Amino acid sequence: MDRTTNADIDSLIRRVQEAKARRDERDPAYAELVRRFQDMAFGCAFAILGDVHHAEDAAQEAFMDAWTNIEDLRSDAAFPGWFRRVVLTRCHRFLRRKGVHTVPMDQAADVAGDEPDALDAAQARESGLLMRSALRSPSEDDRILLVLFHLDEYSYRQIGTFLELPPSSVDNRLRAARRKLKERLSSMTAHDLRSSRPSRDSRFVDEAMGRPPGMAADTWAILQAADEGDDETVRAMIADEPDLVTANHAYWQPLHFAARSGHAEVVRILLEAGSDPLSHVWWHGYRNPLEAARDRGHEDAVQLLEAAIRERHQAAPTRGALICEAVRSGDPRRVADLLDEDPSLVNVAQIVSDQIGSRQPLHVAVEMDRFDLVDFLLERGADLEGTRGDGFKPIHLALWENQWRGLRDNRTMLGYLLGKGAKYAVGVMAARGDLDAVRRAIERDPSLVD
C-alpha cells in the first residue's frame, strides 16, 4: 500500500463497484488497487506460507477473489481489513490444497549438485529456511506484522489499517515480537523480503489483471464473457464444450457472474444449457446466483432464476429467501419488520443448493456470528435444534462450516448456544476437546463409540 490517502482508495473502490461501469473503466481502477496493495498482500501471504513463490501465487488468487466479491464490501474505508481476510482465507485454503514443504536445515547442502547454479540454489533455500525459522515462533498476527514491517517502510498507521489495529498496538506488538528474533535473522529477513516484493517491477500487477495462475484459458474466457454480457461468445463456447457451464473460479460459475452483472440474456442461455440456479459459493456464505442478482436489483435476472428454481426444485424461493437474506444483510430492523408481518418466517427454510438443501434464519445468524440476531430469533421462536438440509444444526455451524470444509471453531458462539439450551451431543463434545464429557457420555451409552 503506497503513501496515498484513504480518499484516493475510496474513490478507486467506488469505481470498481460501480455496477454500470464498463469493464474498460473498472479494470484500470482495480489495477491501481492491485498496485497499491500488492506488497501488503504478498507480505501477509508470506507470513503464513513462508515461501516467496507460494506467497505470490496466493496473493494473485486473493486479488481475483477480491475482484469477484468486492460488491459485498459495505464500506470503502473497510477495504484494507476486508482484503486482509480475503488473503488469509486464500492462504489457509492453499495450505490445505497443496501444503508447503520445507527441507531440514541439515539437508540444505545436499541440494547442491553438478549444475552451475546448484550452490546458489542451496544458499537461497537456506535463506528461505532461516526466514521461516525466524517467523515460526510468533502468533500469526505477529508474523504478519513483522513481515510488513520488514517488507517496506510502512507507517504504523498503514500497518494498523491493514491489521485493524490502532497504531499504538502496532508499536507495542512490534516491539515485543522483534525481541523474540535474533538480530542476524531480523536483518537477513528484511533484506531478502525487500528484494522479493512484487512492487520491484510491473509483473505482479500484469499477472493479477490477466488470467489467474493455473486457470484454463477457456474457463477464464467464459467467465469474462459472462461477466461482460457477451452472449454470442457464451453461446458459442457452450455449444463447443457443454461442460463449461460449470467452469468456475473459487466456486463462482459463469451463471454467478452473469446474474451479478444483470445480463439476463446470458443468464437465460446458461440456464437452458443446464446451469444450476442454486449453485453456491462455499466460502462466501453459500451465495447463489439468485442472491447475487437480487442484491444488485437485476429484476430480469431474478425472474429467470426464480422460474428455474420453481421448475427444477419444485419450490418457490421467495419466503425463505426474504428472511434469510435479511439476516445475512445484518439488518435487525429489516428482520424484525418481516417477522412482525409474518411470525412463521422465523423457521421457514430457504433452499440453498442440491448439496446443502435448505437452511433456516437461525443457521444464517450463526454462520454470520451475529449474537444479537441469534438472540432475537430465539426470542421469536426459532428452533435451536432445527436441521439444515445437510443435517447441520446451529450448534454444528459454530464449529464447522459444512461437511466438506474443516473447523471454523467459534468457541464463543458454541458456548452461547449451549447456554441457550442447545443439545450437547458427543460429536460437539469431541470437537470442543471436552474429554471428561465424552467419557461420561460413552459410559452411559457405549454405542456412541461407533
Confidence of residue 318 (pLDDT cuts 50, 70, 90): low
Residues 6+ apart with CB under 8 A from 287: 256, 280, 281
Residue type for position 22: R
pLDDT at 427 over 70: yes
CB 44 within 8 A of CB 144: yes
**Cell reading at 91:** 492462504
Task: Judge residue 92's burial from the number of C-beta atoms within 10 Å of its C-beta, 0-12 exposed, 13-18 middle, 19 or more buried.
Answer: middle
pLDDT at 211 over 70: no
DSSP 8-class letter at 244: G
CB 50 within 8 A of CB 132: yes
Nearest partner of 1 among 199, 286, 200, judged by Cα: 199
Write down the residue that cell numbers 480518499 correspond to.
7
pLDDT for res 210:
65
Confidence of residue 197 (pLDDT cuts 50, 70, 90): confident
Highest-pLDDT range among 31-40, 169-178, 203-212: 31-40
358: part of which helix (H) or strand (E)? strand 357-359
Confidence of residue 17 (pLDDT cuts 50, 70, 90): confident
Instruction: Specify the higher pLDDT residue, 171 or 286.
Output: 171
Rounded to the nearest 10°, the torsion over CA 367, 373, 379, 384 is 0
pLDDT for res 189:
54
pLDDT for res 317:
53
Q: What domains are there in the chain, each with its CATH number?
A: 3-96 (1.10.1740.10), 217-313 (1.25.40.20), 319-444 (1.25.40.20)
Residue type for position 181: L
**Cell reading at 425:** 451431543
Residues 378 and 89: their CA atoms lie apart, in Å, by 31
Residues 413 and 409: their CA atoms lie apart, in Å, by 9
Furthest-apart CA atoms within the chain: distance in Å: 78
pLDDT for res 101:
46
Residues 65 and 92: their CA atoms lie apart, in Å, by 14
Residues 209 and 220: their CA atoms lie apart, in Å, by 12
Global pTM exceeds 0.75? no
